């Protein structure tokens, strides 16, 4: 395994996840007309064929 290629590829994937997830959340908030409160969110990472499922749960404050 080439660590430089692995790290670069993983960072690219995680950046894509972060950017597209933020866009999806912002679109939901905008379309729902939300201005205050909070969102309960969950992100699930699966690695196909490896049996890996990793969940991160959190709260997003809107005000």
Segment 25-58, tens digit of pLDDT = 999 999 999 999 999 999 999 999 999 999 999 9
The predicted structure's pLDDT at residue 7: 96
Collapsed DSSP state (helix, strand, coil) of residue 63: coil
pTM: 0.87
Q: Has residue 3 got a pLDDT over 80?
A: yes
**What per-residue confidence (pLDDT) applies to 23?**
98
Q: How many CA atoms lie within 13 A of 37 on its CB side?
A: 7
- Of 40, 43, 46, the residue nearest 21 (C-alpha): 43
């Amino acid at each position: 395994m080439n660590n430089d290629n692995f790290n670069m590829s993983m960072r690219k994937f995680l950046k894509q996840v972060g950017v597209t997830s933020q866009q999806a959340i912002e679109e939901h908030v905008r379309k729902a007309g939300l201005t205050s409160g909070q969102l309960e969110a969950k992100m699930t990472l699966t690695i196909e064929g490896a049996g890996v499922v990793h969940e991160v749960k959190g709260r997003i404050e809107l005000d």
